[in-house]
Amino acid sequence: MFCLNCGVENEEGSKFCSDCGSKLIETKSIDEVEPESVVEPEPEPVIEPEASTLPTKTESPINPFVIIGIIGVILLLGILLFSGDPEPDQNPIRCNTNQVLERGMCVDDKM
């Protein structure tokens, strides 16, 4: 009798494997099985769907105009999101030609 868990051969009549301790299941060899006792499984019946539930070729599950509209909205949002000024400063400080910008303030040029 062989253990199905580890494959070690055990003594006939043992309830547990002598190597791994798994519970042994008594199995029959191929020679002991009677040919009449083998039952062929019956094939499962094929169930065909009703004709009314099948989509026809003229029906489309999604309207192509809906898909084009969704793509357009995504493109428009992308353009609006990425086309803005990279620096969000709304009021940039502009100094006169004889001034320099230091620490956010216009200061007279020292040169």
CA distance 3 to 67: 60
Q: Which helix (H) or strand (E) holds 99?
A: strand 99-102
pLDDT at 77: 92
Lowest-confidence segment of 12-26, 29-43, 67-81 by average pLDDT? 29-43
In this predicted structure, the answer to whether residue 103 has a pLDDT above a threshold of 90 is: no
pLDDT at 68: 93
